[in-house]
Amino acid sequence: MKVFVDANIILDRYDSKRPSHRFSILCYEYLIANTQIFTSCDLITTIYYINSKYDKKQALFNIQAISKTLKIIEFSNKEVEECCKLMLEDSDYIDLEDTIQYIMAKKHNCDLIISNDKNFVAKDLKILSSEEFCKEFLES
């Protein structure tokens, strides 16, 4: 199974104050052992930016650890154009970052997107929160 992981799942792993911390840890550990994990290159800078507010050195260690457990995928002008076109044609796609992630997940044939963003739109890909993922895959 190929799974695209949103930045909020990774951020939840490293911040015990976030509401989905526990589920995101369980979810990510399962993903490492059982799937191919993908995220887009722009999310790495987001993760660094947020983590570095607390500890820059630890943020870099976290990025190194992350890069060993998932495939960081690039996007280019082509995907940006696809994203803009989709957003102009379909009013359900309102978030540029989420829409690019959706396009990248499709491009890499991901079966699933895991995001704790309740507003994430991906009409023809399954989306689960880390909690939903744990209930579906860890409790069965």
Give the pLDDT score at 139: 81
What is the pTM assigned to this prediction? 0.94
Task: Quick: pLDDT tens for 85-125.
Answer: 999 999 999 999 999 999 999 999 999 999 999 999 999 99
What CATH architecture does domain 2-138 belong to? 3-Layer(aba) Sandwich (3.40)
Q: For the chain, give every domain's residue range.
A: 2-138
Q: Which residues contact 106 (CB under 8 A, 6 or more apart)?
A: 124, 125
The stretches in the chain having pLDDT less than 70 are 140
